[in-house]
């Protein structure tokens, strides 16, 4: 079970209107469950958990095993929700320093490296990526509902040319994840004979990690997508009730702080593996709530690293911040601080102390100091960094941001503002 602690927000909340806000939050929760709120046509991310497609999960698992067996690299091309979720889960579950897959001639177990492209326009990155792929066995998963989003579309055009020049069986090595019936990528996949998977029409990109968008790369990386998916199913069932509902609590407290003038939420992690979850959370909340001059600005910090750069501002800067700590107390090891006869660094008082105990003290001390400095705090503690717990966390955040959007009075499932930069960019590029 994920543990949620909201007591760190209590001293900062105006509780005089608490009962009325609780009723509003429960109404927002009910609007999500009954599909009566704004954007109700975009709730496929809940429907697919209510009626799991076990055959699809098995098919994706099998293809993931094929890719792992035959490829050194799976290159995923996508942007925003088409890569952040997969990258987050893979990063959280992977070792920091994975053993490279052996050459095909050596025999023995293989592992595939999942790389990402199409999420920016760096020519240096793509040039070095193609150089890195030379001599390797490569599969490509291109992910786009339309196939015309500039960054992944132009990247795939370049990568596709490279694949066709490199492999005689290039069509077998390219998998398209796209719309079920329309769009440029759907047409190209049909023309080229690519294997393909469907992005459900009623699932927006930032909610798509538990569809083939995220599940295929995660499966190829060697992780249990069934446990991930059913972790989300379990959390959804637990959050059906409005009583003792942490998603409602989180959404309500964020909204109350927003109404009291807070403008930023920091998601702080002490395990660097969770930074990718923060990047996924950042899009989910920023794109869902940032409308009509409303919403908390989402930012991610990795501690203790960022305590040496942003710690001063968090502690004593403008008091417009709330902070959520995302931690896991089960990620432990046997690293001990050794005794040193010279003790020049003065650290012998920590001799034989497990490093994770020092990290726990850093977490507790940071949380206490920040709260005393005027920062409302929330604590989310994962029982472990596992497929099941990540699935539960993903659904928790999706449910919470939906309730939060309705509290703000915005549609949490559209993103009209993202078109503005595109219009200006395309004008400069001379797009017809």
Q: Which residues are catalytic?
A: 287, 308, 422
Residue with tokens 């994706």: 60
DSSP H or E segment with residue 81 = none
User: 285 and 401 in contact (C-beta within 8 Å)?
Assistant: yes
User: 181 and 201 in contact (C-beta within 8 Å)?
Assistant: no
End-to-end alpha-carbon separation of the chain, Å?
Answer: 53
CA 375 to chain centre: 25
CA dist 316 to 64, 319, 371, Å? Answer: 48, 8, 11
Classify residue 86 by burial, with Cβ atoms within 10 Å: 0-12, 13-18, 19+: buried
CA–CA distance, 176 with 242 (Å, rounded to integer)? 39
Strands 195-198 and 321-328: unpaired
DSSP H or E segment with residue 411 = none
């Amino acid at each position: 079970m994920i543990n949620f602690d909201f007591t760190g927000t209590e001293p900062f909340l105006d509780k005089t209107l608490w009962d009325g806000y609780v009723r509003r939050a429960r109404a927002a929760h009910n609007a999500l469950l009954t599909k009566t709120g704004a954007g109700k046509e975009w709730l496929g991310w809940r429907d697919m958990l209510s009626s799991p497609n076990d055959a699809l999960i098995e098919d994706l698992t099998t293809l993931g095993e094929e890719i792992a067996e035959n490829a050194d690299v799976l290159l995923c091309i996508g942007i925003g929700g088409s890569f952040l979720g997969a990258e987050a889960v893979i990063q959280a579950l992977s070792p920091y320093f994975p053993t490279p897959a052996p050459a095909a001639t050596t025999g023995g177990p293989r592992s595939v490296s999942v790389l990402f492209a199409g999420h920016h326009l760096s020519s240096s990155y793509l040039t070095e990526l193609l150089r890195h792929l030379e001599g390797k066995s490569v599969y490509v998963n291109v992910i786009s509902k339309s196939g015309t989003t500039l960054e992944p579309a132009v990247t795939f055009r370049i990568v596709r040319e490279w694949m066709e020049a490199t492999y005689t069986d290039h069509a077998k090595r390219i998998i398209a994840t796209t719309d079920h019936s329309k769009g440029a990528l759907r047409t190209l996949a049909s023309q080229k004979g690519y294997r393909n998977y469907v992005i459900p029409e009623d699932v927006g990109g930032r909610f798509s990690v538990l569809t083939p968008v995220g599940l295929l790369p995660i499966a190829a990386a060697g992780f249990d997508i069934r446990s991930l998916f059913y972790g989300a199913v379990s959390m959804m069932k637990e959050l059906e009730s409005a009583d003792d509902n942490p998603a409602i609590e989180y959404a309500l407290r964020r909204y109350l702080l927003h109404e009291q003038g807070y403008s930023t939420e920091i998601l702080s992690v002490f395990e660097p593996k969770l930074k990718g979850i923060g990047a996924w959370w950042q899009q989910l909340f920023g794109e869902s709530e940032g409308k009509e001059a409303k919403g908390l600005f989402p930012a991610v910090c990795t501690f203790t690293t960022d305590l040496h750069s942003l710690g001063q501002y968090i502690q004593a800067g403008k008091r417009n911040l709330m902070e959520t700590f995302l931690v896991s107390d089960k990620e432990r090891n046997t690293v001990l601080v050794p005794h040193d006869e010279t003790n020049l660094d003065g650290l012998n008082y920590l001799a034989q102390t497990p490093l994770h105990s020092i990290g726990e003290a850093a977490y507790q001390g940071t949380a206490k100091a920040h709260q005393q400095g005027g920062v409302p705090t929330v604590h989310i503690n994962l029982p472990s960094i596992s497929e099941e717990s990540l699935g539960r966390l993903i659904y928790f955040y999706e449910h919470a941001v939906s309730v939060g959007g309705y509290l703000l009075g915005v549609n949490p499932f559209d993103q009209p503002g993202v078109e503005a930069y595109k219009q200006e960019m395309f004008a400069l590029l001379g797009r017809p």
